[in-house]
Amino acid sequence: MIDLIVNGKQSTVDAHTIAELIAHYGLTGKPIVVEADGEIVDRALWKQAELRQNMKLELVHFVGGG
């Protein structure tokens, strides 16, 4: 279990990598972009990208807008 701040909220999840975090939220295969501690993490690296205690993550996507 690891403590993270995901989309602005404190969360404790059972995940070791970004890919596992994405799977935890049911977002695998969805068109989202990940920023970890202010750096964008390319999708190709999600399986290797290790989560760190208190890491700040932003999971974002395209929504309707003008």
Partner 1 sequence: MVTDHWSVGGRALSSRLFIGTGLFPNPYVQREAIRASGAEVLTFAIRRVNLEATEDDSILLHLQGESFAYLPNTSGASTAGEAVRIARLARASGLSDWVKVEISANERTLLPDPIETLKATEILVKEGFTVLPYTSDDPILCKRLEEAGAAAVMPGAAPIGTGLGLLNPYNIGLIVEEAKVPIIVDAGLGSAADVAQAMELGVSGVLMNTPIAKAKDPVRMAAAMRLAIEAGRLSYLAGRVPRKRYASASSGLEAFKLK
Give the interface with partner 1 as residue ranges (CB under 8 A).
Answer: 6-9, 25-27, 30-33, 35, 40, 42, 58-66
Minimum gap (Å) between residue 45 Cβ and partner 1: 12
Q: Residue 45 to residues 10, 12, 29: CA-CA distances in angstroms? A: 24, 22, 14
Sign of CA dihedral 21, 7, 43, 27: positive
Which C-beta is closer to partner 1: that of 17 or that of 43? 43
Nearest distance, CB of residue 28 and partner 1, angstroms: 10
Collapsed DSSP state (helix, strand, coil) of residue 45: helix
**Minimum distance from residue 35 beta carbon to partner 1 (Å):** 6
